[in-house]
Amino acid sequence: MKIFKFLISLLLITHAALGQELPDSLQVDIPNHLLPDSLKKPSKYLPTGVRIGMDLISFGQGVETNGVRAITQADVRQWKFSADIDFYRYFLNIEYGIFDRQWDAPNSTYINKGSFLKIGPDVNFLHRDPDQSALFIGMRYAISNYEDNLQYNYSNVFWSDGSDFVENSSLYRKWI
Protein backbone atom coordinates (compact mmCIF):
# COMPACT_ATOMS: atom_id res chain seq x y z
CA MET A 1 0.00 0.00 0.00
CA LYS A 2 2.87 2.38 0.79
CA ILE A 3 4.38 1.72 -2.61
CA PHE A 4 1.07 2.54 -4.30
CA LYS A 5 0.82 5.86 -2.37
CA PHE A 6 4.42 6.64 -3.28
CA LEU A 7 3.81 6.00 -6.99
CA ILE A 8 0.67 8.15 -7.00
CA SER A 9 2.52 10.97 -5.20
CA LEU A 10 5.40 10.71 -7.64
CA LEU A 11 3.01 10.84 -10.59
CA LEU A 12 1.24 13.94 -9.23
CA ILE A 13 4.49 15.76 -8.48
CA THR A 14 5.86 14.96 -11.93
CA HIS A 15 2.64 16.11 -13.58
CA ALA A 16 2.68 19.35 -11.59
CA ALA A 17 6.33 20.00 -12.43
CA LEU A 18 5.82 19.38 -16.14
CA GLY A 19 2.77 21.64 -16.14
CA GLN A 20 4.97 24.63 -15.25
CA GLU A 21 6.45 24.93 -18.73
CA LEU A 22 5.20 27.70 -20.98
CA PRO A 23 3.39 26.72 -24.13
CA ASP A 24 5.34 27.23 -27.36
CA SER A 25 3.19 30.24 -28.29
CA LEU A 26 4.35 32.13 -25.15
CA GLN A 27 8.04 31.29 -25.33
CA VAL A 28 10.31 33.91 -26.86
CA ASP A 29 13.53 32.87 -28.60
CA ILE A 30 16.13 35.61 -28.07
CA PRO A 31 19.05 35.54 -30.53
CA ASN A 32 22.28 34.27 -28.96
CA HIS A 33 24.28 37.44 -29.77
CA LEU A 34 21.88 39.61 -27.70
CA LEU A 35 22.24 37.52 -24.52
CA PRO A 36 24.90 38.16 -21.85
CA ASP A 37 27.78 35.64 -21.79
CA SER A 38 26.37 33.81 -18.76
CA LEU A 39 23.09 33.02 -20.57
CA LYS A 40 24.38 32.25 -24.06
CA LYS A 41 23.58 28.83 -25.42
CA PRO A 42 26.75 26.81 -25.99
CA SER A 43 27.56 25.81 -29.54
CA LYS A 44 26.67 22.19 -30.15
CA TYR A 45 29.95 21.36 -31.86
CA LEU A 46 32.62 23.25 -29.89
CA PRO A 47 34.28 21.35 -27.02
CA THR A 48 33.02 22.55 -23.65
CA GLY A 49 35.01 20.21 -21.41
CA VAL A 50 37.59 17.44 -21.20
CA ARG A 51 37.75 14.66 -18.61
CA ILE A 52 40.75 12.39 -18.06
CA GLY A 53 40.66 9.38 -15.78
CA MET A 54 42.54 6.35 -14.57
CA ASP A 55 41.28 3.16 -12.93
CA LEU A 56 42.66 3.47 -9.41
CA ILE A 57 41.09 0.25 -8.09
CA SER A 58 43.36 -2.09 -10.06
CA PHE A 59 46.38 0.11 -9.35
CA GLY A 60 45.49 0.24 -5.64
CA GLN A 61 45.12 -3.52 -5.35
CA GLY A 62 48.65 -4.04 -6.66
CA VAL A 63 50.10 -1.42 -4.33
CA GLU A 64 48.25 -2.91 -1.36
CA THR A 65 49.79 -6.36 -1.85
CA ASN A 66 53.21 -5.44 -3.29
CA GLY A 67 53.88 -1.86 -2.21
CA VAL A 68 55.33 0.66 -4.62
CA ARG A 69 57.12 -2.06 -6.60
CA ALA A 70 53.66 -3.04 -7.92
CA ILE A 71 54.18 -0.54 -10.73
CA THR A 72 56.86 -2.68 -12.37
CA GLN A 73 57.23 -6.00 -10.53
CA ALA A 74 53.78 -7.24 -9.50
CA ASP A 75 52.46 -10.58 -10.73
CA VAL A 76 49.35 -8.74 -11.99
CA ARG A 77 49.61 -5.38 -13.72
CA GLN A 78 46.41 -3.81 -14.94
CA TRP A 79 46.03 -0.22 -16.09
CA LYS A 80 43.08 1.57 -17.63
CA PHE A 81 43.02 5.16 -18.84
CA SER A 82 40.06 7.06 -20.21
CA ALA A 83 39.38 10.48 -21.67
CA ASP A 84 36.35 12.14 -23.12
CA ILE A 85 35.61 15.43 -24.78
CA ASP A 86 32.26 17.14 -24.14
CA PHE A 87 30.55 18.64 -27.19
CA TYR A 88 27.40 20.17 -25.62
CA ARG A 89 25.33 17.01 -25.14
CA TYR A 90 27.65 14.67 -27.06
CA PHE A 91 30.81 13.02 -25.74
CA LEU A 92 33.68 11.47 -27.66
CA ASN A 93 35.07 8.78 -25.37
CA ILE A 94 38.43 7.01 -25.65
CA GLU A 95 39.64 4.23 -23.33
CA TYR A 96 42.93 2.34 -23.31
CA GLY A 97 44.00 -0.48 -21.04
CA ILE A 98 46.69 -3.09 -20.56
CA PHE A 99 46.76 -6.33 -18.60
CA ASP A 100 49.76 -8.44 -17.70
CA ARG A 101 49.62 -11.43 -15.37
CA GLN A 102 51.99 -14.19 -14.44
CA TRP A 103 50.69 -17.08 -12.37
CA ASP A 104 53.20 -19.51 -10.92
CA ALA A 105 52.19 -22.96 -9.68
CA PRO A 106 54.49 -25.72 -8.43
CA ASN A 107 54.80 -27.39 -11.87
CA SER A 108 53.72 -24.65 -14.25
CA THR A 109 53.84 -21.01 -15.21
CA TYR A 110 51.01 -19.21 -17.02
CA ILE A 111 51.50 -15.76 -18.57
CA ASN A 112 48.71 -13.63 -20.06
CA LYS A 113 49.30 -10.22 -21.69
CA GLY A 114 47.02 -7.93 -23.63
CA SER A 115 45.80 -4.44 -24.39
CA PHE A 116 42.63 -2.81 -25.68
CA LEU A 117 41.45 0.45 -27.21
CA LYS A 118 37.81 1.59 -27.21
CA ILE A 119 36.47 4.69 -28.92
CA GLY A 120 32.95 5.91 -29.44
CA PRO A 121 30.25 8.54 -28.90
CA ASP A 122 27.84 9.07 -26.00
CA VAL A 123 24.66 11.15 -26.00
CA ASN A 124 23.73 12.89 -22.74
CA PHE A 125 19.98 13.17 -22.12
CA LEU A 126 20.44 15.57 -19.15
CA HIS A 127 22.48 18.19 -21.01
CA ARG A 128 20.70 21.13 -19.32
CA ASP A 129 21.17 19.88 -15.77
CA PRO A 130 22.77 22.62 -13.61
CA ASP A 131 24.52 19.99 -11.46
CA GLN A 132 26.29 18.61 -14.55
CA SER A 133 24.78 15.16 -14.01
CA ALA A 134 24.68 12.82 -16.97
CA LEU A 135 22.28 10.17 -18.21
CA PHE A 136 23.68 8.87 -21.46
CA ILE A 137 23.67 6.11 -24.00
CA GLY A 138 26.57 5.34 -26.26
CA MET A 139 28.39 2.91 -28.47
CA ARG A 140 32.03 1.83 -28.62
CA TYR A 141 34.24 0.34 -31.28
CA ALA A 142 36.92 -1.74 -29.60
CA ILE A 143 40.05 -3.56 -30.66
CA SER A 144 42.28 -5.73 -28.55
CA ASN A 145 45.36 -7.84 -28.93
CA TYR A 146 46.53 -10.43 -26.46
CA GLU A 147 48.65 -13.51 -26.01
CA ASP A 148 49.08 -16.21 -23.43
CA ASN A 149 51.39 -19.12 -22.83
CA LEU A 150 51.66 -22.04 -20.46
CA GLN A 151 54.79 -23.90 -19.58
CA TYR A 152 54.38 -27.02 -17.48
CA ASN A 153 56.35 -30.00 -16.24
CA TYR A 154 54.88 -33.45 -15.85
CA SER A 155 55.94 -36.80 -14.55
CA ASN A 156 54.53 -40.10 -15.73
CA VAL A 157 55.48 -43.65 -14.78
CA PHE A 158 55.14 -44.96 -18.36
CA TRP A 159 56.32 -42.00 -20.44
CA SER A 160 58.90 -40.58 -18.01
CA ASP A 161 59.28 -36.94 -17.04
CA GLY A 162 59.03 -34.04 -19.41
CA SER A 163 57.89 -30.50 -20.02
CA ASP A 164 55.74 -28.81 -22.61
CA PHE A 165 55.02 -25.30 -23.79
CA VAL A 166 51.66 -24.16 -25.19
CA GLU A 167 51.29 -20.69 -26.70
CA ASN A 168 48.61 -18.50 -28.27
CA SER A 169 50.41 -15.51 -29.71
CA SER A 170 49.31 -12.44 -31.62
CA LEU A 171 45.56 -12.86 -31.07
CA TYR A 172 43.52 -9.89 -32.29
CA ARG A 173 39.82 -9.09 -31.90
CA LYS A 174 37.53 -6.17 -32.66
CA TRP A 175 33.91 -5.61 -31.72
CA ILE A 176 31.15 -3.03 -31.25
pTM, to two decimals: 0.64
Amino acid at 84: D
Candidates 94, 70, 98; CA nearest to 83 is 94
Does any domain span residue 10?
no
Q: Quick check: is 76 in a domain?
A: yes
Alpha helices in the chain (DSSP H): 2-18, 56-66, 70-73
pLDDT reported for residue 29: 66
Task: Map residue 28 onto helix, strand or coil.
Answer: coil
Q: For residue 34, is it within any domain?
A: no
Q: Are strands 49-54 and 90-105 parallel, antiparallel or unpaired?
A: unpaired
Domain that holds residue 140: 47-175
Q: Are strands 136-138 and 90-105 parallel, antiparallel or unpaired?
A: unpaired
Pick out the chain residues at pLDDT < 50: none
pLDDT, tens only, 89-127: 889 999 999 988 888 888 999 999 999 999 999 998 887
The pLDDT value given to residue 33? 63
Domains contained in the chain, number: 1
Residue 102 lies in a domain: yes
Q: Is residue 148 one of the residues assigned to a domain?
A: yes
In a domain, 121, yes or no: yes
